[in-house]
């Protein structure tokens, strides 16, 4: 076939493209242009496929949408929350602890105050007067607490007992707040107080710390010398209820418990069988013994059971016939044969026989009976807890037929139970604070006053006084009998007779234990006798029955001290 020249040339060119000379291959392998193949030089680039571009676009779009959603969430939905959080990361709240109120006694002595804490500048430390006999009154507290990161998880002082607990709200005040600005490294840039701390209020107590310390020292000394397990004492203004002194032995240390460092001493408190944490004035319950006789006497006069000048023969004992066996009468003994006694002498010598008879009746002598006894004991404040916050403690027990049934498997009440109740035995239990209220009512003409511990509240009596509307002539007989107990040679409280002061008193010795090997020793009364100003109660707890020195000796030492150093209270 004929071909034009240019056609033949093209044919030759095509053939040349298809046929590669071997030399050309070797020339390419030598990389004559000297490409840097590790930087991808000299390589042919392939075009990106449409599918890859589409996939990439979808991924980018999804990422954009996620960012848009997150921005909306941060800025719109939760913008305020994250703004506050970021501000708090930059602005830190710092507490400004309020100073706790100072506690004074009635003469201005500092009992509790604040001292600068050199180890932790956040709040002051609490300091207590190093004077024995005040710990149950003052109490103790627990400081605000930090976690391991240095943040306070409790921001308040927590009063645990006594004044620190009952008046915690008054003493505490209100904490303030400081805003501290810090940089990213935590360095403080500036500080601003946004709420000033309001310091707690100071309070003044009705007590005289020196008198209280004296009572404690005398109770402690006798307990350690003779073997009493504990004791308590209280003196109260018979007209206002202001407590001049109240102490309980043994006691803990307010300072040690507040500091919380001396673990060994604290553990001893916790394991001490004599219970140093028990405030015996308020929460201690004791068999009152003969200290109830003045109230039995008043009840008998009020119910016309006996004329105060009628004599009853006080033999060594009386016997009650046994309805089941006439050969085995029940014997009720007196601590001593007193002969003939009227009411005043019966109080002065503390005749059990006299009060057996006017309480439960005997032969021709009519008795009050247990229901009347219960009525008058409650009238004088026994068997019921006090309502004031600081003095609210145990109610105690007045034995009754209902009480006996509940506690002795339904056993019936017998006249012997009434006899024993009439002299403050059997299941009778009272607290010292109840007893001092009752004595005050005898002294002030028949007003039952709840005690007060804050000096500025002592004159506010509207809610703390109950007028018992007692017969004044009957009260006079009872008071005279208590005074005879001090001034007569035969009086059981003659240990309080002194030319430096005048006192009316009634002692009591309550037997304890299965074998009656222990006793509680009481003395109660008021002074000055002619114009009563203060009532007092001393209880020495669980001492040996053979001991002849008891609560009266404690009160004698206290009154002698007051005559020299605190005579204003005896006038």
Same structural domain, 326 and 256: yes
DSSP classification of residue 222: H
- Taking the C-alpha atoms of residue 166 and residue 14, their distance in angstroms, rounded to an integer, is 115
Nearest one of 566, 568, 512 to 544, comparing CA atoms: 512
Count H helices, E strands: the chain?
Answer: 20, 22
* Residue where one domain finishes, among candidates 204, 230, 254: 204
pLDDT score recorded for residue 123: 87
- Taking the C-alpha atoms of residue 530 and residue 256, their distance in angstroms, rounded to an integer, is 44
Instruction: State the CB neighbour count (10 A cutoff) for residue 533.
Output: 18
Residue 392 lies in a domain: yes
Indicate the average pLDDT of the chain: 87
Sign for the CA dihedral angle at 235, 237, 242, 244 comes to negative
Count of structural domains, the chain: 2
Nearest one of 322, 132, 300 to 216, comparing CA atoms: 132
Helix axes 293-302, 432-444, angle to 10 degrees: 50
First to last CA, the chain: 163
Same structural domain, 383 and 514: yes
Residue 173: left (phi > 0), alpha (psi -120 to 50), or beta? left
Structure tokens at 339: 């002969």
pLDDT at 189 over 70: no
Same structural domain, 198 and 129: yes
Q: Which residue has the higher pLDDT, 333 or 150?
A: 333
pLDDT at 11 over 50: no
pLDDT score recorded for residue 15: 47
Q: Which residue has the higher pLDDT, 64 or 111?
A: 111
**What percentage of the chain exceeds 70 in pLDDT?**
85
pLDDT score recorded for residue 348: 97
pLDDT score recorded for residue 487: 97
Q: Of the spans 5-14, 110-119, 373-382, 458-467, which averages the highest pLDDT?
A: 373-382
DSSP classification of residue 223: I
Strands (E), 312-351: 312-314, 317-320, 330-333, 339-341
**What percentage of the chain exceeds 90 in pLDDT?**
62
* Residue where one domain finishes, among candidates 204, 231, 257: 204
* Residue where one domain finishes, among candidates 184, 204, 224: 204
pLDDT band at 465 (very low <50, low <70, confident <90, very high): very high
Same structural domain, 247 and 183: no
pLDDT at 88 over 60: no
Q: Are 144 and 256 in contact (CB under 8 A)?
A: no
- Taking the C-alpha atoms of residue 413 and residue 485, their distance in angstroms, rounded to an integer, is 33
Same structural domain, 145 and 270: no
Section 275-295 average pLDDT: 96
- Taking the C-alpha atoms of residue 415 and residue 440, their distance in angstroms, rounded to an integer, is 31
Phi, psi of 336 (to 5 degrees): -165, 150
Give the three-state DSSP class for 188: strand
Section 436-454 average pLDDT: 97
- Using a 10 angstrom Cβ sphere, with 0-12 exposed, 13-18 middle and 19 or more buried, the burial of residue 114 is middle
Q: Which residue has the higher pLDDT, 25 or 328?
A: 328
pLDDT at 169 over 80: yes
pLDDT score recorded for residue 58: 79
pLDDT score recorded for residue 516: 81
Nearest one of 465, 483, 481 to 527, comparing CA atoms: 483
Section 397-412 average pLDDT: 92
Query: For tokens 């009635």, what's the residue?
Result: 106
Section 312-326 average pLDDT: 85
Name 233's bridge partners: 247, 538
pLDDT at 194 over 90: no
Q: Is the bond into 250 cis (omega within 30 degrees of 0)?
A: yes
Residue 481 lies in a domain: yes
Choose the weakest-confidence range: 184-188, 223-227, 467-471: 184-188
pLDDT score recorded for residue 195: 74
Same structural domain, 267 and 191: no
Same structural domain, 240 and 380: yes
Same structural domain, 155 and 220: no
Nearest one of 435, 443, 408 to 232, comparing CA atoms: 435
Structure tokens at 473: 């002539």
Same structural domain, 260 and 364: yes
pLDDT at 180 over 70: no
Q: Which residue has the higher pLDDT, 126 or 74?
A: 126
Q: Is the bond into 285 cis (omega within 30 degrees of 0)?
A: no
Name 541's bridge partners: 230
- Taking the C-alpha atoms of residue 37 and residue 31, their distance in angstroms, rounded to an integer, is 10
pLDDT at 285 over 50: yes
pLDDT at 356 over 90: yes
pLDDT score recorded for residue 454: 96
Residue 359 lies in a domain: yes
Tell me: the pLDDT tens digits for 69-79? Answer: 777 776 677 76
pLDDT at 41 over 90: no
The range of the structural domain enclosing residue 376 comes to 209-569
Residue 343 lies in a domain: yes
Same structural domain, 117 and 223: no
Same structural domain, 317 and 168: no
pTM for this structure? 0.81
Nearest one of 127, 276, 135 to 213, comparing CA atoms: 135
Give the three-state DSSP class for 314: strand
Query: For tokens 């030598």, what's the residue?
Result: 30
CATH at 99: 3.90.1310.10
Q: Are 193 and 93 in contact (CB under 8 A)?
A: no
pLDDT band at 435 (very low <50, low <70, confident <90, very high): very high
- Taking the C-alpha atoms of residue 323 and residue 106, their distance in angstroms, rounded to an integer, is 61
CA-to-CA separations, 227 to 251, 307, 341, 435, 547, in angstroms, rounded? 16, 42, 34, 24, 9
pLDDT at 271 over 60: yes
Residue 30 lies in a domain: no
pLDDT score recorded for residue 147: 79
Q: Which residue has the higher pLDDT, 224 or 69?
A: 224
Strand 203-204 relative to strand 103-104: parallel, antiparallel, unpaired? parallel
Same structural domain, 215 and 199: no
Q: Are 451 and 433 in contact (CB under 8 A)?
A: yes
pLDDT band at 13 (very low <50, low <70, confident <90, very high): very low
DSSP string, 350-369: T-HHHHHHHHH-BTTB----
Residue 42 lies in a domain: no
CATH at 486: 3.40.710.10
Nearest one of 430, 422, 417, 451 to 383, comparing CA atoms: 430
Section 511-540 average pLDDT: 92
Choose the weakest-confidence range: 153-167, 317-331, 429-443: 317-331
Residue 313 lies in a domain: yes
Residue 18 lies in a domain: no
């Amino acid at each position: 076939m004929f071909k034009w020249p240019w056609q033949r040339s093209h044919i030759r060119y095509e053939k040349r493209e298809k046929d590669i000379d071997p030399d050309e291959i070797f020339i390419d392998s030598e990389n004559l242009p000297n490409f840097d193949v590790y930087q991808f030089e000299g390589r042919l680039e392939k075009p990106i496929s449409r599918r890859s571009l589409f996939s990439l676009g979808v991924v980018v779009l999804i990422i954009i949408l996620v960012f848009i959603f997150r921005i909306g969430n941060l800025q719109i939905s939760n913008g305020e929350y994250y703004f506050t959080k970021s501000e708090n990361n930059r602005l830190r709240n710092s507490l400004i602890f309020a100073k706790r109120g100072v506690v004074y006694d009635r003469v201005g002595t500092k009992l509790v105050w604040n001292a600068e804490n050199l180890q932790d500048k956040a709040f002051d430390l609490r300091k207590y007067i190093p004077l024995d006999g005040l710990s149950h009154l003052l109490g103790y507290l627990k400081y605000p607490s930090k976690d391991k990161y240095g943040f306070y998880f409790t921001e308040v002082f927590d009063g645990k007992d006594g004044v620190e607990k009952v008046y915690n709200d008054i003493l505490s005040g209100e904490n303030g707040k400081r805003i501290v600005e810090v940089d990213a490294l935590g360095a403080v840039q500036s500080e601003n107080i946004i709420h000033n701390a309001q310091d707690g209020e100071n309070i003044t107590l009705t007590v005289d710390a020196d008198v209280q310390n004296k009572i404690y020292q005398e109770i402690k000394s006798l307990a350690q010398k003779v073997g009493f397990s504990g004791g308590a004492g209280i003196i109260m203004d018979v007209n206002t209820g202001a407590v001049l002194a109240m102490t309980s032995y043994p006691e803990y240390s307010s300072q040690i418990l507040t500091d919380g460092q001396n673990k060994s001493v604290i553990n001893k408190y916790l394991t001490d069988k004599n219970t140093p944490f028990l405030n015996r004035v308020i929460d201690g319950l004791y068999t009152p013994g003969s200290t109830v006789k003045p109230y039995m006497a008043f009840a008998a006069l009020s119910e016309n059971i006996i004329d105060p000048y009628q004599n009853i023969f006080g033999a060594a004992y009386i016997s009650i016939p046994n309805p089941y066996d006439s050969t085995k009468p029940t014997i009720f003994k007196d601590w001593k044969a007193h002969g003939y006694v009227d009411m005043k002498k019966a109080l002065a010598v503390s005749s059990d026989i006299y009060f057996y008879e006017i309480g439960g009746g005997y032969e021709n002598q009519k008795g009050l009976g247990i229901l009347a006894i219960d009525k008058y004991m409650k009238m004088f404040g026994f068997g019921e807890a006090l309502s004031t916050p600081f003095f609210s403690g145990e109610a105690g027990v007045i034995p009754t037929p209902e009480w006996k049934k509940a506690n002795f498997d339904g056993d019936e009440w017998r006249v012997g139970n009434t006899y024993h109740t009439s002299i403050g035995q059997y299941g009778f239990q009272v607290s010292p604070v109840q007893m001092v209220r009752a004595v005050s009512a005898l002294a002030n003409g028949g007003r039952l006053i709840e005690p007060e511990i804050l000096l500025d509240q002592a004159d506010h009596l509207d809610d703390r006084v109950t007028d018992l509307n007692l017969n004044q002539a009957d009260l006079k007989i009872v008071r005279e009998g208590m005074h005879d107990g001090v001034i007569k040679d035969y009086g059981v409280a003659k240990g309080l007779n002194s030319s430096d002061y005048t006192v009316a008193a009634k002692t009591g010795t309550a037997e304890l234990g299965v074998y009656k090997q222990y006793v509680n020793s009481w003395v109660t009364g008021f002074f000055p006798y002619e114009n009563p100003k203060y009532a007092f109660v001393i209880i020495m707890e669980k001492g040996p029955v053979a001991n002849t020195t008891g609560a009266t000796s404690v009160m004698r030492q206290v009154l002698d001290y007051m005559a020299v150093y605190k005579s204003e209270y005896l006038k």
